[in-house]
Amino acid sequence: MGNKSNLKREAERLATLDGYRALDKAPEGAFYRITTLIADIFSAPMAAVSLIDGETEWFKSPVGLTETNADRQVSMCAQAIEDSKPVVIEDAGMDTRFAGNPLLNGGSSVRFYAGAPLIAPNGAVLGALWIADTVPRFRITKNQLNQLTSMADIVMSEMELSREIGLREQAQRNAAIARSNLDLTLALSDIASFRIDLETGLIEWGGAYMKIWGKDAGEMVSEVETAMARVHPEDREAVQEAMSAAIERNEKYEARFRIVLPSGEIRWVEGYGDYLESNGRPTLTGVNKDITDSVDQQEQLKLHTRELHHRLRNLFATLQSIMALTKNSATSIDDYIERINSRLRALNRAQQILLDTNFVTGSFAALVRDLCSTYPRVSWSGPDIILAENAMVSISLVLNELATNAAKYGALTTDSGRVKISWAIEEDGEGLDIVKLQWLESGGPQSVPAPAKSGFGSSLIDHSITRNLRGDIKRDWAEEGLKCTITFPAPDEEE
């Protein structure tokens, strides 16, 4: 048990010694002054501060010695570690503990030794402050031993002070590294940190503050007054109230506001912070985050939602109108269902193409191509045109009615019948661009004369072209088949 206890105590002692980092440092001036002083006081030819690790005695600031270290096994200071009290050896030559010790031989042999232990605050003995002579000395007084012990305490105080300074410097370095890492993290996250001294109004910035507050923020936004000058006038009062609440009632600081940069650019900023006392000074500290993109997206979402609501209302109104008018023109329930399904497919065709793009505009060519997939003997040619949502719905209903009539009464009733859809953008007589669309049927039954009366389908076609597309339609009931020419204003590309 005793051996384990000694090993544990020695391990703790060596860990304590290592904590002072004294063996890694060059001899210190304060130690030299102390060893020189005690050498003079005691008229001793040799003196030193010795620190002892597991195997070696290290001489720090030695006087009268050329060596820098000695083997711990022959060290007289080792006795101080074992006893934890001053050690006096009046004549080492007469002391059986040092029989055969190499320190007693040679020209600078040690005969007299007096050392006071260097005791750390935790009780560990790290070494000794000692004096030595080459001749025996007798009758060292208690007062002299107290002087040596007091000087050893001063050495230990110097070591403790040096350790504290080292720890503080390391803590400062660690804090600087942590601050640098935090600034880097904030900068990469587009977040700025701020620290406001409420007595001076000065702001200490970190992170991505120049990206948020402007490239000149380090100089031009260095205090509360200049920062407030960049806050949007409509938001300034709310920000000041949030800061006042944090200061007066020790509440969390939270505000969402706009800032206006010198270029006129407006950014949305979200701020969070807290009030605290830093070194006795009232301080408001926190972070700012640029949320401009998020706010813009929210506004865009609101606009799209309103636009979607508006278009859905129009779509439902169209559906109600088609259902009511189809009911009036249908000859039976089956005829009603068939007509409704056909017109709903036309609406769905247009809406799907709109949905595949941006729900605002769609491809005319894609609309015609989709129609042709339902009616294989219908072909088409023409440039792609981007149409607005109302135009897409209208032209889809028109083409559907023409195709339905062709399948029931026209060219698509026979295997040899064909329909060709073609269109181009031309200039009318007034210099305006128009879309000229032609529907040509061939190979079917003769279509002359023209029908005696028109039904809801024809009315739907006429209404969609003249009212919705602001265009015109001409029908030619020729022997080879129906020829239908539709013209309407070409869409404005900018619109």
Residue 250 φ/ψ region, left for φ over 0, alpha for ψ in the -120 to 50 degree band, beta for the rest: left
- From 42-51, 185-194, 230-239, the region with the lowest mean pLDDT: 185-194
C-alpha closest to that of 59 among 116, 130, 125, 165: 130
Helix (H, G, I), strand (E, B) or coil at 26: coil
Q: Which residues contact 424 (CB under 8 A, 6 or more apart)?
A: 382, 383, 435, 436
Residue 315 CB contacts under 8 Å (≥ 6 apart), including other chains: 347, 351, 393
Return the percentage of the chain with pLDDT > 70, whole number: 83
CA distances from 459 to 276, 334, 384, 453, 455 (A): 76, 21, 27, 11, 6
What tokens were used for 295? 């706010």
Sign for the CA dihedral angle at 77, 80, 85, 87 comes to negative
Q: In angstroms, rounded to a whole number, what is the distance separating the alpha carbons of residues 224 and 203?
A: 7
- Cα–Cα nearest to 422, from 481, 353, 484: 484
Q: Who contacts 489 (Cβ-Cβ below 8 Å, separation ≥6)? A: 432, 433, 434, 435, 469, 470, 471
Residues 3-18: tens digit of each pLDDT: 777 888 889 989 988 8
pLDDT single digits (tens) 68-94: 888 888 888 887 778 788 989 888 878
Q: Which of 460, 437, 439, 455 is nearest to 343 (CA)?
A: 460
Kind of pairing, strands 112-119 and 46-52?
A: unpaired
pLDDT at 485 over 90: yes
Map tokens 């001899």 to a residue: 27
Q: What is the dihedral of CA 47, 52, 56, 60, to 10 degrees?
A: -40
Question: Considering the chain, what is the average pLDDT of its residues?
Answer: 82
Q: How far apart are CA 366 and CA 127, in angstroms?
A: 93
Question: Taking residues 478-485, what's their average pLDDT?
Answer: 87
Structure confidence at residue 319 as a pLDDT band (50, 70, 90)? low
Residue 2, pLDDT > 60, answer no
Count, in order, helices (H) and strands (E) of the chain.
13, 18
- Rg, C-alpha atoms of the chain: 49
Closest CA to 277 of 198, 222, 183, 202: 198
Using CA atoms, how far residue 392 sits from 316, 349, 355, 395, 402, in Å, is 16, 9, 12, 5, 15
316 band by pLDDT with thresholds 50, 70 and 90: low
Which residue has better confidence, 259 or 306? 259
pLDDT at 314: 61
pLDDT at 303 over 70: no
Token pair belonging to 125? 């003995």
3-state secondary structure 178-192: HHHHHHHHHHHCCEE
How much is the average pLDDT of 316-337? 65
- pTM value is 0.43
pLDDT for 309 equals 57
Both tokens assigned to 113: 């030794």
Cα(59)–Cα(46) distance, integer angstroms: 11
Q: What pLDDT sits at residue 483?
A: 92
Least confident of 33-47, 115-129, 461-475: 461-475
Let me know if 458 is exposed, middle or buried by CB neighbors in 10 A (0-12, 13-18, 19+).
middle
Q: What is the pLDDT of residue 1?
A: 47
